[in-house]
Structures are given as C-alpha cells and as structure tokens.
Structure 1
Amino acid sequence: MAAGTGGTLRATGLLADYRSDRCDIIEDFYAPALAAATAYDRAVGYFSSSVLAVLGQDVERFAARGGVMRLIASPQLNAEDVQQLESGYAVRAVLEQAALRDLEEACADPRVAHRLGRLGLLVADGRLDVKLAYVASGDRIGMYHEKIGVFRDGRDLVAFKGSANETRSGLVGNFESIEVFRTWEAGDSHRAVRISQDFEDLWQDRTPLLRVLDFTAAAKEVIDSCARRSTTPQPLPPMDGAPVTLSRPKAEGRLTIPGDLTVRNYQKQAVERWFGNECRGILRMATGTGKTLTALAAAAQLSRILGNRGESLLTVVVAPYQHLVDQWSRDITRFGMTPVRAYESVSRWYPQATTLLDALTLGTVKGGVIVTTNATLGSDALQSLLERHRGRLLVIADECHNLGARRLRDKLPGNAGYRLGLSATPERWFDDEGTEALTGFFGPVVFEMGIGDAIRAGALCHYTYAPVLVELDDQEAELYTDVTEKIAKVFAAQRFSENSDEDTPLGKLLRKRANILGHARAKLPALRRELTLRRESGHQLLYCAEGRHPLSYEHGDGDEPTQLQQVLGLAGQQLRMSAAPYTAETRREDRQELLRRFASGRDLQVLASMKCLDEGVDVPAARTAYLLASSSNPRQFIQRRGRVLRRAPGKERADIVDFIVVPPETSNGLTRETERKMLARELARVTEFAHLADNEVRTLDALRPLRLRYGLMDV
C-alpha cells in the first residue's frame, strides 16, 4: 500500500493516518514525503542517530536535492545523567553530553557513520539545524515528549503527529501510529497550519514550560570527525588485545602569541609579575607601551598552561567604548582567535556567546574570547551568561579605572579566577572607595612602567613641551570665583567624603570650574598664532573643551559656537588647513578613514577632538598636540600626553603645546588666594609635563617669575 512518489507533496497520495498493523510507516509515509519535500521539520521525544540507518538513502536523496532540515528533540538520559541533574549540574551541559554520547556511538556504527558524514555537509552548508528541548517549570526539569513533524515543498505542507519517535526502534521495532494533515484537504488545512505554527514557536523558544537550546554547533565537531573517519582508513586495533578508546577530538582554539610579534623585555616582566601574583593584578603601564599586546600575551600563556592540563579558558575583555572593542578584536584575531563582539543588539551577539559557552562546557573547544563594553558588561544578558559559566574564566579590563564607578563595580564577575586590570592611571580621582573596589577585585598593581621609563626604553618617543600663557577675562574671573566658593562649601559640608562621580554635586562643580579654564576665550587667538607657525605641517591633534562656554549657560546664550566648532573654523576656514572633527558623533565606520587620512599628514592636517581620543585610540602618527583644555584630573592629561608619544616610522620627536590659564597682571575680581590656587592647579600639570621633556630646564625657567610671585616654588 505504498504511496506513489512525485515531484510535489500533493502528488504523493499521502493518507490521513498510518498504523503499524496496516502499513510500513517508513516505505509508505517517510520515503515518499522526503522524496517530494524541500524542507523537513521534526520535534520528537527522543532522537537517535541510528534512525539514519533506517531512513538511509531517502535522507541522502533529500539532502542531495538541497533539502533543509530542522530537528528538536530530547536526548536519551542514562542513570549518570539523571544523577548529575539531581546534583545541580547545568541542564544544558547534561543534555548536550547525552546527545553527543549518542552521536559518538553512532560514529562507530558502520550503518550510520557515512550518513552522519553526509549530514556534516548539511551542517556546514547551514541546511541542518538541531536543537534540544526540555521541560522547565519552577524547580522541575522534565523531558520533552511531544512528537510532531512538518514536510514542505514550497507550495503545500504536510503536518503529522503520533507515537513514533525519531529512533530506529520507533520506526521499525515498535507498534506505532501517526495522523497526517494536508493543507490541500479542506478538513486538514487548519490543523496542518496549527502544527506548523507550534513547531515554529518551539524553534523560536516561545513555548511556555519548555526551553529549547541550540545544539548544531556542539554536534558539528562530532559529525565532522565522523565524516573524516568514514573517508580515512582506520588503523588496526592493537595486537595485544588492549582495549581501544575512541575519544572525540577537541579543536585547539586558543590564543597563541603570533610568530611575528616581538614581546619586549618589560612586557615579559609584566606577565611574569602577574603570574607571580597568582594571575591577579593591575598593570600600570603608560599609554603607548603596548598594554593590549602584553595582556594578550599573558592570556595566551595562561591558555597554553591550562590546555596542557586538559582545561579550557574563557577570556572576557572589557573596554570602555565600542571602537575599542573593535580595536581589541583586531589584535585578538592576530593572536589566532575570532572573538565574539558583545555590544549593541543583544540578538546579534547573544547566540554566538551562548554557542561559545556551550562548546567550552562540552569540551569541543579549548578557549574562547568575548570582547564587550563597560555598558554591555552590566546588562542582564551578559551577566546571566557569565554567571552560568563553570569553567576557567579570565577577565581583562582595559582602562580598568572606569570599572571602579558605583554603577559598574558590582558587575564584575565574581567567578573569574584570573583577573587582569590595565591602566596608566588606575587610581580614581577623589574616589578612594572606587579605587579600593578595583584593587579588591583585580588585586594590587603588580607592574609599573611610567612615561619616563617608556621613553628611556624606546617604547615612546622624546618630546618638547611649550606652555602658552593666557588670562581669564573679567566675566570668566567672576564666575570662576563664584564656583570656587561653592566648591569650598561642599568640601566643608562633606568633610572630603564626597567623590567626583558625575552625578555628585562636587563632581559637577569641579567639572564646571575646569570648563571655565578650558573655554577661556583668550585661548583662541593664542591657538591661531601657534597654528600659523605650523600651517604647512600635518599630524596635529587638537584637544578641545567639552560642550559650550559656561558663561553661555549663565547668560542663556545657547547659540554660541562650541570651542570645537570655533577651532575647526579657525584652522579650516581662516588658515585654510585641512581639518576634521573626531567626536562621539563620528560614525564608527568613518573613524578608521579619518585616522588613515590623518596618518598621511597631507590629506588631513588637523584632527580635533574632545574626549574620544583620550582612551585607547591609536594615533601614532600624531607629531603635535595642542591641549586647549585638560581637566585637573591627572588621568586625562597623562593619557593625552601618552597618545602623542607613540612611536611611528620616521617619528623621532613630538611637540606638546599646552594652554595655561594664569592670573592677569591687573586685578579682575579674583582674590590673591583664588589666583594662587588656580595657578597651583595649572602648574601641577606644567611640572608633570616639563619634567620629562627635552626642554625641561628652559620651560621651568620661563615660569620662575610666576612661581616666585605666588610663592609656588615647591609646586
């Protein structure tokens, strides 16, 4: 009573039901349906790869025609699996362990092995996906026992449900029955579509009480291995009768130091110090000394050691911004791995990250890397992933000082056995609590290399330093005095316990006062003189103050151009230099093009920014940096100096031009004590910059009269 086969499902003559006492379910139903279908969806209580030995050539012909298969099943659990579930093992890991065990056993079956190899081609082509299902209700874990299927041919669909599992015994040895619903039959159409929708809901994990997990990536390694073994002559077993153990091969998949990379002696020392502190600690390394490569070298060394012990390693890199994630990803690729970039849309990166963690749990890979932003680290999606990881975990934090902020410090994964923080300035300014939280998580500073050491070692280039003195006008001086008095009141009220986070009163006042100095109007004419001297040169960075002049807010003048806009007008329109902004609004895809043009020195002479070039962005071509604005937070100006000192071909020296606000010759409302403290803050930066400059003596001598006048020779 076999149904005839044809080019479409409608032409197969499929019946409304099939029962073991009346027919051969394989020959009468499965074979003709597979012969006509272009897509096959199946959800079953149990799946055994031995079914491939039964369906045999029908599956092969279906695959050869370009058929697409989706399969959802519960694997068969043994007593050990059940005991592991009762002991609290991760459900996903136990289910995948059971399913992989069945696949491995099937590889040893000559009736099945070569057909698994054919399935490997379907997996590689993206035409076979497998998912595992289980019941999840409260604390109850149960197996999925439903049995439905759908065949499609592009026009019609045939849905069926019944007792048969996708196992050899289910299709051959057992007494089974199925009911079939065809869309071309009026009485069947509604139920056929409903079953098809039920499957789709299952596949998308939208079914209440059930969880559906991806299994394709985990299965691929076994299927590929089976394919290789089925086409490669196998060695004879030992003649002494010793048992042969067939184990699933594991991909190397771990970070490896590239052969063309020269690891400097100080970088080796940093890695050794970190290992000496049980793989925990902070590297305080100047900007431009290769913190990224040092950290990846440490991770590669750790991965190698763990790999020799048969253990895998998940590395999570946390960086402040998305463009730094992209930058880290390029370096990680150089170390032999393709990382998961976890930022922006969760739907884009979450499946990749889940697959990676599953593969690590199952041992199909020895290592993996996730690179994420500070913001995404705190998301529920990534937090839940990291919480369920039970293997070895390394956390690398770029510019780790950011993670001491209240909103981030509690998001650092406590299950990370290995921790590495990177920063030129790990101490948080006016935030002892945040600094303690950092060292509490990462450990102490285990290696230091300041800018002076880096210059002497040849890692950074020499530089000259030129402070340009400018004065506040009367309005700016009055506002500066007012804000300073408010800061003093906050300090007195809080007894110095307040930190400078953005959402605190002190932080806002300190930022406002720094902005008064940063936006001082006298800086623009002074900048014009400096730019004119270098009008024909390229590779010039301009660091501008953020936002608008504080006085524009005081007077309600929201139309006043920002300092960045004024600078671009000065350089681009008045001096006819090629100039462009590099800001948070600059599209990520445009940033690399800007940096490429800037590196040429001719196509783009001036790159103007506010904060985007502070942390992590590589601009080694920069020869001259104009510091129109720097906060009193030393982290900012230290990072900016390091940015322009990076070495580049043909670059022997850099020039730093710093615009320093000093008290005017004639009184403009500032008290002498306010003038003295303002100058002291500015001179602290001057002293820091001049100390390592090639022209240190000349610079400090030029400022000696000011120091003497205000009694600041000790600053």
Structure 2
Amino acid sequence: MTTNEQVLNSLPPVYFPNEINIVKKLFLPVSKVSNNFNCLSGYFSSKAISELAEPLSVLFKNPLAKGRFVISPNLSDEDKEALIKAYENEESIFDFLVGKDEITREALVTSTLEAIGYLIKKNRLDIRIALMKEGMMHAKIWLFSTTEGEVAIHGSGNATKSGLMTNFEQLVFSREWESKSNKTIIDSYQDRFNTFWDGRRDDSYTLKLNDKTISKILMSTKTDVSEEEFPNLLNKLTKHLENKTVSQRLTIPEWLNFRDGDYKHQGEAIDAWIEQGYKGTLEIATGGGKTLTSLVCASIAFESEEAGILVIAVPNKPLIKQWAEDVRNFSLRPVDTEGIGTKGIVRVIRRTIKEHEMIPQHSAIVLTHDALKTDEVKSVLSKYKNKIMLIGDEAHNLGSASFVDNPPGFIELRLALSATPERQYDPEGTLKLFDYFGPVVYEFSLEEAIGNCLVPFKYSAHKVYLNQEESDLWKEYTEKINSLLWSEDKETKKLVEQLQIRRRAISEGAENKNSAFKSEVSTLKSRIHSLAFCTDKSPEQLISVNDILREEGFLFHQITGDETSNKNLMQDVISSYKRGEIEILTSKKVLDEGFNIPPIKTAYFLASSGTVRTWVQRLGRVLRKSDDTGKKIAEIHDFIVFPPENTKEFKSLVSNELKRMQWFMSLAVKDRSLDQAISISNELLAIKELL
C-alpha cells in the first residue's frame, strides 16, 4: 500500500506546465494529502481557481482545510491609489481581485466566483492584497501543509490560467524533509508569506477583504450554493453588516452658523433656493461661502431621503480636492475622482449604486464639468432609483453647448453657483443654463461682501505705455478688425474675435509692465503672502516676472497647469506659501477660479482681461479673510496701459482700461491711497473725450 510520504517522494522536482498536465501530475496528488495551503503570487486570476478546481475541491473536502492568498495584481499607479482609497473607505475591492476586463454580470455569477464567495463566507478561504510602495511583489509560491510536512511549489508560474497551463514556465517541487537546504527554502518562503499576511513589512501595504467586499461577493452568488447553509449565512452576514456599517448621511456640522453674523446671507440664500423648489442659481461673491451654502442646501434636501447621491461638478481637477475636504465636514467620505478617467468614474458610480441597494445611505461624488458632460457618466447616473442632486460650481462654465444642449434632465435637485453666472457675449448659453438650473434666486454682491466676509482693499494704479512695436501692431489689428466688423458672415465673425484676442494680448503683455513691476516689488516692505497674475496669452510675461523676482532675491514659486496637475507638489507649495517660506506666487489663469488661499494680501495684476468675471474672480482670491494671519486689509496693484499717441485706433484700449479702473476704484477703500489712481483715471477720461 502506497503511503502519503511515498506519493510525495515520488513526485519529480521540476515541471514545465506547457508540456504536461500540471494539475493532474502535481497539484492533485499534493492536495490529496494536504490540510492547508498558502499562496504568494504577483499575479492573480479567478481562472486559476477554476483550473485548479479538482485539486482544491479535494483539499476542501476536509472541513478543517483552509487556504490563504497574498496577491499583488499588476496594477497601474492610478489603480493602486484607487484600491488603497477603496480599502480605507471600507468600499468593495472585489473588482480589483478578478481584473477589470472580467467585471461583467456573467463573470460575477460563474461557479468559480460562487465557490470563492462560499469559501470566504465559511472562513475557509481568505485573500489579502500586497501593494508595494515601490515596484511590485513578483513572487510565485504555493506552500502546502501535508500530512508528512511542508512542501512548496515555486518558480515562474503565476496564479493565472496561462501561468499554470499555457506559457512556457518552470515549476520546482520542494519537500522540507528532503534536505537541509529545502527546509531553509520553505521556511524562508513561509516567513515572507507571514510578514506580508500580517502587514509587518515597511515596503508594502497589506489590505484585508472587508465587509463591503464580502457583501458584494454575497450579492453575486446564487441562493442554491447551499440550500441548508445559505439562509443562516445571509442572516448572519446581514446582522454583521448592520452592526459594523454606519450608514453615511449628509449632516450639517454643529460649528457652522449660517443664520447670523457675517455669513447670515448664507441662510437667506438657502431659504430662497428651497422656496424655488430645490432649484436655482446662487450669485454669491467669491469668498462669500458658496461651497458651505450649497452643502447645507444638499443636507436639507436629503434630510428626509434614506438614500441619495450628491454630484458636485467643478471646472478643473485641483478643485476636486478642495470640495472633497469641505464635504468631509458634512460627515460624508466623498468619492474623489481626481486622476480617474471616465471608465473609472463610471465604475465608481456603478459600485456606489450597488452599495446603496444593500445599505441605503448618502454619497457624494466630486468630478469635473468635462466628466459630467460625457454620455457614459450621465447614462450610469440615470440608472439610480433614488434622488440625485447636482451642484454646479462656477456654473457659468457649464453654459457651453456641450452641456446645456444635452443636460442630465433626470436629476431633480439642481443648484448652480457662480459669482458671475451670466455668460458674457453668450445670452443664449446663459438662458439655457438658467432653464436647466433655475434662475438666480439670491444675490450677494462684492459690494455687500467687502467689509463683512471679505476684507477691504487699497487700490494702487501704475501707468505704463505701449512701446513702438506694440503700438504699430495694435494699429494693424485695429484696422483689420474695423474692416471686418460689419460683416454678418460667421467665419468672418470668428476671425474678428481672434484678432480682438490677439490685440488684447498686446496690452495684457505690454513689455513696460515688467519694469514697472520691478520698481514696485523692489520697495515692498512685507514680502510674504504676495501674488502676481500674468497673462495667459503668452509665456513671456511670466518668465520675465520670475526673472525679476529671482534678481530681487524673492522666494517665489510659479503655479501653472504643470504644477496643478501634480497634487502633491501643489499641496507642498501652498503649505509653504501659507507658512511664509514662499513669499510670492506667480500665476496665469489657473488661479482664477476656486482656489482658496486666504493669506494672500498683496496682489499685482499685470494682466487683466476685459471681462468683469475675471476681475471678480481675481479680486476674490485676494480679499478672503485669514484667521491664521489676522489679515485686516489687502492691496491691489493694477498696471494701466496708455497709448503712446492719442489717435482713434486706441479708443478701445483707453475705454477698457478706464472701465476696469473705475470698477476697482468703486470698491476700494476711499482714502489718500486712491489719489494716484484718481489722477490716472482722469488722464484716461481726458484722452477718451479726445478720441
């Protein structure tokens, strides 16, 4: 009679899976005499379990037999981050176990997954994920505890179907009793497995399967897996989930006072939106607390709803993080979609909807305007059966045809936020935007905000002239514009718009602004918490400003799209700036919308566009209250461009510069600091009357 030891000793030491049936020749005989197994694998596929169904079913016939996997899927950095976030938020990580390509309804109900789910529920199979901080875990080791001792199957074959069956791989079979070196090998393998399993390694994270993962597996299984056991398992798991999972709900924080004091306008805005039937636009000045106001609106709207999804659409990716931080103050862990593509966002929304079916709750998803516009995102959201609320931040940007011509009409609760909701030169887009979100139901202007929730400011104007080259180019563009201005042809109108933008770029980037800027910053007494806005129409001005600051010995950092695309860098820069370690920030258009850096107290507007919206947004960056620094007043330096000669070609230049000056002067502190601006304004007014 052949003993177990004889069976194990008769197995060859080396195998090539593509040449023989590795299941029959190796895994099956080992499983027949084993009690438990541990697998450490850099790749994992549920198809490997399917291929090993026969030996594993033999092993699991023993009611005490158990199996453990430590896997490290070959994930991108984006997937790693999403997986860690899912685990930290106690969200399901099941999708990551079986691979994105296999996440289909059919795959979720296959017998293999039912078996995995059943074994996990019976506590006979456990899976943990190892994510290396650098590189990846690339081991391929199976450890079996047999009746005769420990054995190992190791080599180049991964825990995948191709790794075990198809590829040209090599596997080695080692028995600890065969030699001292074999025992050393197996002991070292077991030790490494345990350090991963217990999360005792500094070079990696170990993630456990959590409640929501198990619940997702439970939902994907059929009730006939075990007619006798399944009802008990279901009741036990449901009770466990009820005890351990706290249903998330949007909750207004106790510290937030939106009825009295400097921010009582927030309560008035909330009431106006509710009276309008939970739709409408709030026109609240930058710094007036639009974000918190909208989240209170959402909390009230969802108060009687057992389940609901809050969708927050923002104009750019860096604002996702800021909104997510505010949402956390309302007792929700938001879904932060920064760095996630459309397919990933769809997957997150689908998973959220599935979780709501199991555990009714409130969820918040923060995404960009561009993501909201996609058919894929709108389609998956439309499948949600409960209430959805949409907050459109800086909603004027959503007035473009790509949104208003096909908006998500299935969303009932709608709130638009903007300091300047009307789209300049686009009345049709403005009308469609109001048709969708609802009209402006409450206004809180800059005039009302300054001195209350915004600090007052001093306005200093500095006179500069176009140089001869800039003057000649301005005239050239003006002549071309005037010759085309009366045409009704669409293509001609587009050409006129392009010429006007090019002409505007001349005044925004006027070379003489550089020397005027240098003169001002060189005498700046308090350097910290300063900001310089440069034109976005060419890179030269920003480069020159940076060179000037370098020459003057400033500690500065620029913020452009390159910086904002790196969230860790942005966090470091802003933190250093707030501490005063970086004295001045230089930027183009990227800081116009949404960025909240309250310590800014001195701003240089080297380039100002002709739109009031830009003035409002940039002024709002500077006037925010700062409890950390105790800021009482801010200072704006504006660079006013004059023509070198008073001829009719420069009429628009003079008019635009005068209009901007008068707007800032109307809001500024009325004291002697305004004298120079008044003098320059009077000069422009006199020139305008001549032209």
Residue 330 of structure 1 deviates from its aligned partner by 1.7
User: Which residue of the other structure, out of 694, 698, 715, is the alignment partner of 2:669?
Assistant: 694
Residue 513 of structure 1 deviates from its aligned partner by 1.8
Q: 1:221 to 1:265 in 2, by over 3 A?
A: farther
Q: Which residue of 2 aligns with 1:390?
A: 385
User: Which residue of the other structure, out of 468, 481, 487, is the alignment partner of 2:462?
Assistant: 468
Residue 657 of structure 1 deviates from its aligned partner by 0.7
- Work out whether 1:614 is the aligned partner of 2:596: no
- Work out whether 1:271 is the aligned partner of 2:259: no
Q: Which residue of 2 aligns with 1:655?
A: 635
Residue 411 of structure 1 deviates from its aligned partner by 5.5
Residue 355 of structure 1 deviates from its aligned partner by 1.1
Residue 432 of structure 1 deviates from its aligned partner by 1.5
Q: Extract unaligned runs of 5+ from structure 2.
A: 12-20, 22-28, 48-57, 74-102, 131-139, 145-160, 168-211, 222-230
CA contact (8 A) 2:37 2:143 kept: no
Q: Which residue of 1 aligns with 2:329?
A: 334
How far apart, CA to CA, are the structure 1 residues paired with 2:618 and 2:463? 19
Residue 382 of structure 1 deviates from its aligned partner by 2.5
How far apart, CA to CA, are the structure 2 residues paired with 1:563 and 1:251? 53
How far apart, CA to CA, are the structure 2 residues paired with 1:194 and 1:329? 46
Residue by residue, what CA displacement relative to the aligned partner does 1:409-464 show, whole Å, maximum 9, x if unpaired?
A: 346322111111111111111111221221121111111111111124x2100111
Q: Map 1:214-233 onto structure 2 (within 5 A).
A: 216=213, 218-219=215-216
Q: Which residue of 1 aligns with 2:501?
A: 511
Q: Map 1:243-282 onto structure 2 (within 5 A).
A: 251-263=246-258, 264-282=263-281
User: Which residue of the other structure, out of 576, 583, 591, is the alignment partner of 2:570?
Assistant: 591
Residue 583 of structure 1 deviates from its aligned partner by 0.9
Q: Which amino acid aligns with 1:589?
A: N
Residue 261 of structure 1 deviates from its aligned partner by 3.1
Q: Which residue of 2 aligns with 1:562?
A: 540
Residue by residue, what CA displacement relative to the aligned partner does 1:617-646 show, whole Å, maximum 9, x if unpaired?
A: 111111111111011011111100111000
- Work out whether 1:492 is the aligned partner of 2:489: no
CA contact (8 A) 1:511 1:631 kept: no
Q: Which residue of 2 aligns with 1:149?
A: none
Residue by residue, what CA displacement relative to the aligned partner does 1:352-392 show, whole Å, maximum 9, x if unpaired?
A: 332112222x1423121221122333345424422433332
Q: Which amino acid aligns with 1:279?
A: Y
Q: Map 1:199-238 onto structure 2 (within 5 A).
A: 216=213, 218-219=215-216
SS of aligned partner of 2:305: helix
User: Which residue of the other structure, out of 628, 632, 638, is the alignment partner of 2:616?
Assistant: 638
User: Which residue of the other structure, out of 419, 428, 440, is the alignment partner of 1:433?
Assistant: 428
Q: Map 1:366-445 onto structure 2 (within 5 A).
A: 366-410=361-405, 412-445=407-440
User: Which residue of the other structure, out of 353, 377, 381, is the alignment partner of 1:357?
Assistant: 353
User: Which residue of the other structure, out of 646, 655, 662, is the alignment partner of 1:680?
Assistant: 655
How far apart, CA to CA, are the structure 1 residues paired with 2:324 and 2:409? 24
Q: 1:115 to 1:373 in 2, by over 3 A?
A: closer
Residue by residue, what CA displacement relative to the aligned partner does 1:396-417 show, whole Å, maximum 9, x if unpaired?
A: 1111111112334346322111
Q: 1:676 to 1:232 in 2, by over 3 A?
A: closer
Residue 292 of structure 1 deviates from its aligned partner by 1.3
Q: Which residue of 2 aligns with 1:551?
A: none
How far apart, CA to CA, are the structure 2 residues paired with 1:400 and 1:283? 10
How far apart, CA to CA, are the structure 2 residues paired with 1:409 and 1:227? 49
How far apart, CA to CA, are the structure 2 residues paired with 1:543 and 1:429? 21
Q: 1:629 to 1:115 in 2, by over 3 A?
A: closer
Residue 584 of structure 1 deviates from its aligned partner by 0.9
Q: Which amino acid aligns with 1:454?
A: A
Q: Which residue of 2 aligns with 1:582?
A: 559
Count of aligned pairs: 552
How far apart, CA to CA, are the structure 1 residues paired with 2:345 and 2:495? 38
Q: Which amino acid aligns with 2:424?
A: W
Residue 41 of structure 1 deviates from its aligned partner by 8.0
Q: 1:247 to 1:617 in 2, by over 3 A?
A: closer
Q: Which amino acid aligns with 2:301?
A: L
How far apart, CA to CA, are the structure 1 residues paired with 2:9 and 2:469? 85
- Work out whether 1:62 is the aligned partner of 2:71: no
Q: CA RMSD in A?
A: 4.9
SS of aligned partner of 2:450: helix
How far apart, CA to CA, are the structure 1 residues paired with 2:166 and 2:409? 46
Residue 267 of structure 1 deviates from its aligned partner by 1.2
Q: Map 1:67-78 onto structure 2 (within 5 A).
A: none
Q: Which amino acid aligns with 1:528?
A: K
CA contact (8 A) 1:281 1:442 kept: yes
Q: Which amino acid aligns with 1:597?
A: S
Moved more, 250-259 or 633-642: 250-259
How far apart, CA to CA, are the structure 2 residues paired with 1:9 and 1:317? 64
Q: Which residue of 1 aligns with 2:165?
A: 193
Q: Which amino acid aligns with 2:299?
A: A
Residue by residue, what CA displacement relative to the aligned partner does 1:153-196 show, whole Å, maximum 9, x if unpaired?
A: 8389xxxxxxxxxxxxxxxxxxxxxxxxxxxxxxxx9998379x
CA contact (8 A) 2:269 2:441 kept: yes
Q: Which amino acid aligns with 1:323?
A: P
CA contact (8 A) 2:399 2:432 kept: yes
Residue 344 of structure 1 deviates from its aligned partner by 3.6
Residue 487 of structure 1 deviates from its aligned partner by 3.3
CA contact (8 A) 2:35 2:59 kept: no
Q: Which residue of 2 aligns with 1:84?
A: none
How far apart, CA to CA, are the structure 2 residues paired with 1:7 and 1:486? 93
Q: Which residue of 2 aligns with 1:207?
A: none
How far apart, CA to CA, are the structure 2 residues paired with 1:271 and 1:230? 43
User: Which residue of the other structure, out of 505, 518, 521, is the alignment partner of 1:531?
Assistant: 521
How far apart, CA to CA, are the structure 2 residues paired with 1:226 and 1:613? 57
Residue 118 of structure 1 deviates from its aligned partner by 3.8
Q: 1:594 to 1:226 in 2, by over 3 A?
A: farther
CA contact (8 A) 1:251 1:364 kept: no
TM-score in terms of structure 2 length: 0.68
Q: Extract unaligned runs of 5+ from structure 1.
A: 17-27, 44-53, 71-90, 107-111, 128-151, 157-188, 196-214, 235-245, 549-560
How far apart, CA to CA, are the structure 2 residues paired with 1:343 and 1:634? 30
